[in-house]
Amino acid sequence: MSTSTETHILTTPGGGPTLRSPIDWKFPIVYGVLALVTLLLFGLFGGTGGKSTTFSFAAGTDLFGIPPLTVSAMATTVAVGIVLVAMAAVATWLAVKREKIGIWFPILFGVLFLFAFLTWAGAGNGHIPLTPLLAGALALSVPLIFGAMCGLVGERSGVINIAIEGQLLAGAFLAAVVASAVKNPYAGLIAAPFAGALVAVVLSFFAIRYWVDQIIIGVVLNVLVVGVTSFLFSTVLTQNPELWNARQALPVIPIPLLGDIPVLGPVLFRQSILVYIMYVVVAVLYVALFHSKWGLRTRAIGEHPKAADTVGIPVNRNRVINVLIAGAIAGLGGAFFTVGSGLAFGKEMSAGQGFIALAAMILGKWNPLGAVFAALLFGFARNLGNTLSTMGTPVPGDLLLMLPYIVTIFAVAGFVGRVRAPAANGKAYAKQ
Amino acid sequence: MKLELRGITKRFGSFTANDSIDLVVEPGEIHALLGENGAGKSTLMNTLYGLYAPEEGEILIDDRPVAFSGPGDAVSAGIGMVHQHFMLVPVFTVAESVALGYEPTKSGALLDLGEARRKVTEISARFGFHIDPDAVIEDLPVGAQQRVEIIKALSRDAKILILDEPTAVLTPQETDELIEIMRQLKAGGTSIVFITHKLREVRAIADGITVIRRGKVVGEASPESSESELAGLMVGRDVHLTTDKTDADPGEATFSVRGLTVVDKSESVVVSDVSLDVRRGEILAIAGVDGNGQSELAEAIVGLVEPRSGTISLDGDDLAGLSVKERLRKGIGFVPEDRSTDGVIASFTISENMILDLYDQPPYAKGLSLQPAVVRSEAEEKVSEFDIRLTSIDDPISTLSGGNQQKVVLSRELGRPLRLLVASQPTRGLDVGSIEFVHKRIIAERDSGTPCVIVSTELDEVFNIADRIAVMYRGRIVGVVPADTPRDVLGLMMAGVPEDEALARVEDGSAATEISAAEEDPA
Amino acid sequence: MTEKTATGQPVPAAPEDAAAPEAPRPTVLRDILSGSWMVSVLSIFVGLLVGAVLVAAADTSVQATLGYFFSRPADFFVSVWRTVSEAYLALFRGAVFDWEAQSFVRAVRPFTESLVASVPLILAGLGIALGFRSGLFNIGGQGQVILGAIFAGFIGYWLTLPLGLHMLVAIAAGIVGGAIWGGIAGALKARTGANEVIVTIMLNSIAGYLIAYLLKQEWFRQSGSANPQSRAVDESAALFPLLPDPFRLNAGFLVAVVATVFVWWLLERSTLGFEFRAVGENPDAARTAGISVGRVTFVVMMIAGALAGLAGAAQVLGTEQKLTMGIGGSLGFDAITVALLGRSRPVGTFLAGLLFGAFKAGGYTMQAQTGTPIDIILVVQSVIVLLIAAPPLVRGIFRLPAPVGKGAR
- Distance (Å, whole) CA C348 – CA B322: 40
What is the DSSP secondary-structure string of C234-286?
PTTTSPPBSS-TT---BTHHHHHHHHHHHHHHHHHHBHHHHHHHHHHH-HHHH
B419/B333 Cα distance (integer angstroms): 8
**What residue of B is the nearest CA neighbor of C268?**
B370
Model pLDDT, residue B477:
93
Of the pLDDT bands very low, low, confident and very high (cuts 50, 70, 90), residue B242 is: low
C1 touches chain B (CB under 8 A): yes
Whether the link from the prior residue into C15 is cis, omega within 30° of 0, is no
B346/C288 Cβ within 8 A: no
Q: How far is B240 from chain A (nearest CA, A)?
A: 36
At residue C166, the pLDDT reads 94
pLDDT tens, residue by residue, B286-303: 988 777 889 899 999 999
pLDDT tens-digit readout, A111-121: 888 888 888 88
Partners of A2 on chain B (C-beta within 8 Å) are 258
Task: Determine phi and psi for B393, rounding to 5 degrees.
Answer: -70, -5
How close B341 comes to chain C (CA, Å)? 6
* Distance separating alpha carbons of residues B355 and C312, to the nearest angstrom: 38
Q: Which amino acid is at B287?
A: A
How many angstroms separate the CA atoms of A344 and C308, rounded?
35
CA A206 to chain centre: 27
CATH T-level fold of B240-331+417-485: Rossmann fold (3.40.50)
Q: Render B145-156 in DSSP notation, one character per residue.
A: HHHHHHHHHHHT
User: How confident is the model over B368-377, as pLDDT tens digits?
Assistant: 999 999 999 9
pLDDT tens per residue across span A228-246: 999 999 998 988 888 999 9
| Parallel/antiparallel/unpaired status of strands B160-164 and A52-56 | unpaired
Compute CA distances B24 → B3, B29, B59, B509, C362, whole Å.
Answer: 6, 10, 10, 37, 73
* Closest-CA residue to A357 (of A346, A349, A368, A342): A368
Res A427: pLDDT: 82
C-alpha B161/C-alpha B192 separation (Å) is 5
* pLDDT confidence tier of residue B228, bands split at 50, 70 and 90: low
Rounded Cα–Cα distance for residues A166 and A177 (Å): 16
Neighbours of C292 (CB within 10 A): 17
Per the CB < 8 Å rule, is C292 touching B365? no
Strand partners, B216: B213
With CB atoms and an 8 Å threshold, state whether C269 touches B336.
no
Q: Is C285 on the interface with B (CB under 8 A)?
A: yes
B417: Cα separation from own chain's centroid? 30
Q: Is C5 on the interface with A (CB under 8 A)?
A: yes
Q: What is the pLDDT of residue C118?
A: 96
Asked whether the beta carbons of C204 and A358 are under 8 A apart, the reply is no
Selection from B465, B467, B452 nearest residue B421 by Cα: B452
Contact C291 B365 (CB under 8 A): no
Residue A14 pLDDT > 60: no
Q: Which of A206, A223, A239 is the closest to C337 by Cβ?
A: A223
Closest Cβ–Cβ partner in B338, B346, B357 for C289: B357
Residues of C whose CB is below 8 A from A426: 8
Q: Do A311 and B70 touch (CB under 8 A)?
A: no
Q: Is C154 helix (H, G, I), strand (E, B) or coil?
A: helix
- Give start and end residues of each alpha helix (H) in A104-129: 104-122
CATH number of this structure's domain A133-416, picked from the four choices 1.20.58, 1.10.3470, 3.40.50, 1.10.540: 1.10.3470
The answer to whether the CB atoms of B92 and A299 lie below 8 A apart is yes
Q: Report pLDDT for B172.
A: 65
Chain B residues within 8 A of C286 when measuring between CB atoms: 345, 356
Instruction: Name the B residues in 175-194 with CB < 8 Å from any A CB.
Output: none
Contact C152, C312 (CB under 8 A): yes
Q: Torsion over CA of B312, B314, B318 and B319, rounded to 10 degrees? A: -70
Class of domain C115-371: mainly alpha
B13 contacts C290? CB cut-off 8 A: no
The vertex-C362 CA angle with C359 and C367, nearest 5°, equals 115
What is the SS3 assignment for C310?
Answer: helix
Contact yes or no for C386 and A220 at CB 8 A: yes
Q: Residue C28 has what pLDDT?
A: 56
> What does the alpha-carbon distance between residue A93 and residue A105 come to, in Å, rounded to a whole number?
14
SS3 call for B242: coil
- Most C CBs within 10 A among B356, B401, B409, hence the mutation to make, goes to B356
- Residue C230 makes CB contacts below 8 A (sequence gap 6+) with C153, C154, C157, C215, C220, C221, C222, C223, C322, C323, C324
Q: What is the CA radius of gyration of chain A?
A: 25
Judged against a pLDDT cut of 90, whether residue A171 lies above it is answered with yes
A 159-218 near C (Cβ less than 8 A): 162, 202, 206, 209-217
Q: Which of B70, B99, B272 shows the shortest C-beta gap to A16?
A: B272
User: Which run of H or of E encompasses B170?
Assistant: none
Closest CB to B342: pick one of C269, C284, C292.
C284
Q: Which residue of A has its CA nearest to B311?
A: A3
Give the pLDDT confidence of A135-156 residue by residue, as tens digits: 888 999 999 999 999 999 999 9
Query: What value of ipTM does the predicted structure carry?
Result: 0.86
Q: Which of A3, A303, A313, A418 is the best mutation test for B, with the most CBs of B within 10 A?
A: A3
CB B486 within 8 A of CB B506: yes
Would the CB atoms of C9 and A224 count as touching at under 8 Å?
A: no
Question: CA separation (Å) from C310 to C148, C185, C256, C314, C318?
Answer: 6, 18, 9, 6, 11
Contacts with B83 from chain A: Cβ below 8 Å: 310
**Contact at CB, C271 and B360, closer than 8 angstroms:** yes
CB contact under 8 A, A216 and C340: yes
Please report residues of B whose CB lies closer than 8 A to that of A292.
109-111
Residue of chain B whose alpha carbon sits nearest to that of A21: B267
Segments of chain C with pLDDT less than 70: 1-35, 403-409
Looking at residue B238, its pLDDT comes to: 47
Which pLDDT value is given to residue A64?
A: 55
The percentage of residues in chain C with a pLDDT greater than 90, rounded to a whole number, is 58
Judge whether B19 and B215 are in contact, CB under 8 Å.
yes
Helix (H) or strand (E) segment spanning residue C55: helix C36-58
Interface test with C, best of A214, A217, A230, A235 (most C CBs within 10 A): A235
B216 band by pLDDT with thresholds 50, 70 and 90: confident
Domain segments of chain A as ranges:
25-124, 133-416
Check residues B521 and A328 and name the one with the higher pLDDT: A328
For residues B180-196, one letter each, b for 16 or more C-beta atoms within 10 angstroms of the residue's C-beta and e for the rest, the string is: ebbeebbeeebbbbbbb
The answer to whether the CB of A201 falls within 8 A of the CB of A215 is no
Q: What is the pLDDT at residue C39?
A: 86
Residue ranges per domain, chain C? 115-371
CA distances from B402 to A360, B423, B429, B430 (A): 46, 16, 7, 6
CA distance between the termini of chain B:
32
Which residues 154-213 on chain C approach chain A with CB closer than 8 angstroms?
A: 188, 191-195, 197-199, 201-206, 208-210, 212-213
- Does the structure show a pLDDT above 70 at B249? yes
- Indicate the helix (H) or strand (E) that contains A337: none
Chain C interface includes A36 (CB < 8 A): no
Q: Is C390 within 8 Å of C9 (Cβ atoms)?
A: no
Closest chain C residue to B343, measured at CA: C285
What pLDDT is attached to residue A222?
94
Q: How far is C401 from chain B, CA to nearest CA, in Å?
A: 18
Q: What CA–CA distance (Å, rounded) separates A330 from C156? A: 43
Q: Which residues contact B180 (CB under 8 A, 6 or more apart)?
A: none
- Amino acid letter at B436? E
**3-class DSSP state of A161:** coil
Strand B269-279 and strand B253-263: the pairing is antiparallel
Q: What is the pLDDT of residue B37?
A: 67
CA gap B313, B176 in Å, rounded: 39
The three-state secondary structure class of C170 is helix
Say yes or no: C286 contacts chain A, CB-CB below 8 A: no
Rounded average pLDDT over B195-207: 81
Would you list the DSSP string of A277-298? HHHHHHHHHHHHHHHBHHHHHH
Nearest Cα residue to A125 out of A422, A391, A366: A391
Q: Under a CB-based contact definition with an 8 Å cutoff, are residues B464 and B452 in contact?
A: no
- The DSSP letter of residue C67 is H
Is the peptide bond between B363 and the residue preceding it cis, with omega within 30 degrees of 0? yes
Q: Which residues contact B375 (CB under 8 A, 6 or more apart)?
A: B351, B352, B354, B355, B364
Average pLDDT over residues A195-201: 96
* Residues C230 and C157 sit within 8 Å (Cβ to Cβ): yes
Q: Which subunits sit against A, judged by 3+ Cβ pairs under 8 A?
A: B, C
**What's the whole-model pTM score?**
0.85
Mutation to test the A interface, candidates C133, C136, C375, C380, most A Cβ within 10 Å: C375
- Name the pLDDT band for A415 (thresholds 50, 70, 90): low
B348/C287 CB distance under 8 A: no
User: Which segments of C96-137 does DSSP mark as H helices, in order?
Assistant: 104-133
Any A CB within 8 A of C124 CB: no
Does A423 sit within 8 Å of B309, measured CB to CB? Answer: no
What per-residue confidence (pLDDT) applies to C345? 92
B3-235 CATH: 3.40.50.300
- Chain B closest-CA separation from residue C275 CA (Å): 9
**Of B368, B364, B396, nearest to B381 (Cα)?**
B364
Torsion over CA: B138, B144, B149, B155 (sign): negative
CB–CB of C109/C247 below 8 Å?
yes
